[in-house]
Amino acid sequence: YCNFDSLDCAAFHDEAIDELVARVRDGAIALTYVPLFGQIGNSQGAARAAMCAAEQNAFWPLHDAFYQWRQMYGEVQAFTNNRIVSGIAQLDINRARYDGCISSGAPDAVLQEAATDARGLVNFTTTPAVTVNGVVLVNDSNVQLTTASEILAALDEAIASRAAPAAPTEEAGMEQPEAAEAPEVTETPVEPTAEATAEA
């Protein structure tokens, strides 16, 4: 869960996105970016644009551009309508389809669902927030992890615990439990889902 106007999310992006993509490519995790938005500047417009870009597999390039803009232009000027339109023009997407998406209610429905989901998470306090199988990553005191190093360490621990061999059963005829599935890490578009390996 992240928002484009957040400095903490921008730092998380810079410090962790390559590491997350590597884990996706290795098949260790599935990555889902859940878009939220703040109240400063046009971060809602940026989130809406990202959702519509995702429909054409252009989420990740726009995602990266938004975090660059946030750092270059500040929270108020980063996501002006003119800058977003200019950024969209640089992507290899069907502009009429993008405009149709923007004028529909689809992006707003996704953003509303994302906000509702975030409010329903136990221990969710701020962005960035990463979940594994729907559970916010927390420390031993149940405080949400928010730094890239803490989150990556917790992910590696979850991956390692999933990969640990099952204890042998005492009865010869008992079936061995199946290996657990890869943890699903939440951090990509809710609807539509952009494939992390396709663009990153």
pLDDT for residue 60: 93
Whole-number mean pLDDT of the chain?
84
How many CA atoms, within 13 angstroms, populate the side-chain half-sphere of residue 103?
6
Q: What is the mean pLDDT of residues 150-157?
A: 95
Instruction: Please indicate, yes or no, if residue 41 is contained in any of the structural domains.
Output: yes
The length of the chain, given as a count of residues? 200
Does any domain span residue 187?
yes
CATH number of domain containing 33: 3.40.30.10
The DSSP code for 195 is P
Structure confidence at residue 179 (pLDDT):
40
What total number of domains does the chain contain? 1
Mean pLDDT of 1-25: 93
Q: Looking at residue 163, what is its pLDDT? A: 74
Kindly state the average pLDDT of the residues 20-39. 92
Question: pLDDT band at residue 166, thresholds of 50, 70 and 90?
Answer: low
136: part of which helix (H) or strand (E)? strand 135-136
Q: Are strands 131-132 and 135-136 parallel, antiparallel or unpaired?
A: antiparallel
Integer CA distances (angstroms), 153 to 3, 19, 50, 51, in order: 22, 11, 28, 29
- Of 119, 156, 148, the residue nearest 26 (C-alpha): 156
Percent of the chain with pLDDT strictly greater than 90: 74
Report the predicted TM-score, pTM, of the whole model to 2 decimal places. Answer: 0.78
The helix-helix angle for 7-25 and 59-77 (nearest 10°) equals: 170
- 14 within some domain: yes
Instruction: Answer whether residue 170 is part of any domain.
Output: no
Answer yes or no: is 171 within a domain: no
Amino acid at 59: F
Q: Residue 190: inside a domain, yes or no?
A: yes
Segment 135-148 shows an average pLDDT of 95
How confident is the model at residue 82, as a pLDDT?
Answer: 95
Q: Which structural domain, as residue segments, surrounds residue 188?
A: 2-165+176-199
Q: Is the model's pLDDT at 189 over the cut of 80?
A: no
Among residues of the chain, what percentage have pLDDT more than 70? 82
Asked if the structure places residue 10 within a domain, the reply is yes
Do 127 and 36 meet the contact criterion of CB atoms below 8 Å apart? yes
| pLDDT tens string 77-127 | 999 999 999 999 999 899 999 999 999 999 999 999 999 999 999 999 999
The distance of Cα 54 from the centroid of its chain, to the nearest Å, equals: 12
Q: What tens digit of pLDDT does each residue of 44-61 get?
A: 999 999 999 999 999 999
Q: Is residue 73 part of a domain?
A: yes
